Chain A
Amino acid sequence: MSINPNHPQAPPLAQIPVIRLESAAKVYRTGDVEVHAVRHVDLEVQRGEFVAVMGASGSGKSTLMNIVGCLDKPTGGRYLLDGVNVADLSRRHLARLRNHKLGFVFQSFNLLARTTALENVELPMFYSKPLISLRTQRRRAKEALERVGLGDRLGHRPSQLSGGQQQRIAIARAIVNQPELLLADEPTGNLDTRTSIEIMGFFQELNDAGITIVMVTHELDIASYCKRIVVMRDGEVISDTINPDRRLAATERATLDHAEKQAKLA
């Protein structure tokens, strides 16, 4: 799967986009009806980018994320992950990619019910190869949960947690295995402003550390923390721009703290 960088024709690794979609399309057939959820999307994401995908409901964002996340395959076009056509990879290989290289935050969380927050977060490491010792698994899962502000909810089950807390477990699970590419489908959809900013701050830190991030969001507010904004409509990318005035979560939080203090004093 990895490309030999010494090969004469191979471009240097840095130039190979992490994500490269070549007129990728996804058509759902339900009986006689054809739904073109994604239509020839061309998109390249380089290493270290932080992309927001925006668009109206039903515009195909989740469908696109599923393809990028190697959960689904395009019905047309090609998807190259790190220069490798995903269509050529075996189930086994794809599973390994999902486990090691990708972190995925689902729009609907997809946590295991009747399983504690801690165990949910440990799950990706349980399936890791090479193996991760149980103690390391526990430690890293704890750290990830603390990182998303759930250090006091380790033993709770999803049904005992709020929507926002479940969402944060999903985030912790996505980053616990130190992915190179983090895909998040509306990771702040259930969060209040303050927690959203905290999560975006966390994402910005991860991004600064070199992790490529693609996230779906409805809110321009949230998108403004990203470096690049892609807008979709009816399965097509209609705009793809660099975010000129990117907000930094650290600054925003300070402002927020200040505002709150003022409000309390008043």
Chain B
Amino acid sequence: MLLFQALILRPLLTAMIALRALRRNKLRSTLTALGIIIGVASVVAMVAVGNGAQARIESQVSALGQNLLMVFAGNRRSGGVNSGGGSASVLTLADAAALAREIPDVAAASPEVTTTVQAIANGRNWSTTVAGESEDYLKIRDWKLAGGSMFTEREIRGSAKVAVIGSKTAHELFGPLNPIGQTVRLKNIPFVIIGLLASKGAGMGGQDQDDRIIVPFTTAMKRLTGEKYIRLISLQVVSADRMAAAQQQIVSLLRQRHRIPPEHGDDFSILNQKEIADTVGSISGIITMMLGSIAGMSLVVGGIGIMNIMLVSVTERTREIGIRVAIGAQGSDILLQFLIESITLSLLGGLLGVLLGVGISKGISLFADFTPVVSTGSVLLAFGVSFAIGVFFGFYPARKAAALDPIDALRYE
């Protein structure tokens, strides 16, 4: 019973004394806490914004597909300068076929050609991107169909005039009508729409991925682009941990096929989804940290505000301290009282700050195209930091109070 009193009740009662002292100066306490409130709120909101942006970018990266490797013609790393001795940097269908055939870690491959055409259907006219792909493309890009079906390998071999249409394009051309079974004319060639893509939203570069038409790459090359070369090859690797190995095998196979001497650089470049994800993740992590630490500075400023007010409070209440010491309070009792007061002030500020921070995050989500994510970690951290600020910035004033001489304190006017 008395142990309970010593460990819990007495600090609690001391806290009540502190609370009463804070209530007595409502305006002043509020203004003091405001420093912490703003500090904590901005930490919570900034970290939430950072996390939200990070989550959004990461979801865009993972929306690229699963275990995706993209092989582009030309060496992007060397800034577009052609390193091979004049030979054109190109990828061919044979390259794509060789990658799919000879590298066991490659589960699926899709050569890609793209062009922009006027699509005409239903008496309407819409300029859109047409991509020639293989039957595995949707699987590689982890893309679902909202209706109909994807074209088959047979249709690719037969250069069938079939198309799978993006939701945006479908909407522009057909409005609320079901596009499946309809005909769309691309460069005046009629294609039968056999599938409708599920909506995927904006891609990494901000382009609308839903505004496109996918056709067999054979048909696209023959009928629409007339080119022999392909822009890129999308590859799906069997598993995430085989990504690096697969990439290495692809490099050596393509170098061999393109007969690149060892001293020359690659004439192609490979985008590794995992690498992108990691890079994006670490960059946005750094940004989140930076936002958080800038906000953290305002917490320190808030702490200094608390220290200032606590010093004023100790001076103002010198007589009270004198009375308490005169009737037997220990220095440690006085220290605890003022420490609890500053901690209460900062924790209260922390609590209101968290609420405000969550509110700000909710507000941001109303007009930003991503949702800030308030993490439990940042809330706990903000609380922990405001507690620490209360202790740190309250200690000096509290010690000053505890060191007062009773008779001097009693005489203080």
Contact = CB atoms under 8 A, between A and B. Distances in A.
Interface of A: 66, 71-72, 91-92, 95-96, 98-100, 104, 106, 110-114, 123-124, 126-128, 130-131, 133-134, 173, 177
B407 A72 contact: yes
B328 A99 contact: yes
Interface in B1-32: 1-2, 5-6, 9-10, 13, 20, 24
Contacts of A99: 327-329
Interface string B12-54: 0100000010001000000000000000000000000000000
A106 B322 CA distance: 12
Given A112-B320, A131-B6, A173 B327 contact: yes
B238 interface: no
Given A91-B331, A110-B410, A131 B10 contact: yes
Given A71-B406, A114-B24, A123-B324, A130 B2 contact: yes
Nearest to A111: B323
B333 interface: yes
Contact of A127 (B6, B20, B333, B407): B333
Contacts of A71: 326, 406-407, 410
Contacts of B330: 92, 95-96, 127
B325 interface: yes
B334 to A, nearest CB: 10
A176 to B, nearest CB: 10
B326 A104 contact: yes
Given A66-B407, A110-B410, A124 B327 contact: yes
Contacts of B5: 131, 133-134
B9 A134 contact: yes
Given A100-B328, A127-B328, A133-B2, A112 B323 contact: yes
Interface of B: 1-2, 5-6, 9-10, 13, 20, 24, 319-320, 322-331, 333, 406-407, 410
Contacts of A72: 407
A125 to B, nearest CB: 9
A118 B170 CA distance: 81
Given A91-B331, A133-B1, A98 B320 contact: no
Given A110-B410, A134-B9, A127 B327 contact: yes
9 contacts: A71-B406, A71-B407, A95-B331, A104-B326, A110-B410, A111-B323, A131-B5, A133-B1, A134-B5
Given A95-B329, A114-B24, A127 B324 contact: yes
A98 B322 CA distance: 13
Contact of A96 (B2, B10, B319, B328): B328
Contacts of A106: 326, 410
Contacts, number: 66
Contacts of B20: 114
Contacts of A126: 10, 13
Nearest to A73: B407
B328 A128 contact: yes
A99 B328 CA distance: 4
A124 B2 contact: no
A100 B333 CA distance: 16
Contacts of A127: 324, 327-330, 333
Nearest to B9: A134
Closest 3 CB pairs of A and B: A99-B328, A72-B407, A127-B329
B14 to A, nearest CB: 9
Nearest to B13: A126
A235 to B, nearest CB: 17
Nearest to B20: A114
Contacts of A134: 5, 9
A79 B112 CA distance: 101
Given A71-B326, A134-B9, 18 more contacts: A66-B407, A71-B410, A91-B331, A95-B330, A96-B330, A98-B326, A98-B328, A98-B406, A99-B327, A106-B326, A113-B320, A114-B24, A123-B327, A127-B328, A130-B2, A131-B10, A133-B1, A134-B5
B11 to A, nearest CB: 12
Contacts of B333: 127
Given A98-B327, A123-B327, A131 B407 contact: no
Nearest to B3: A131
A28 to B, nearest CB: 11
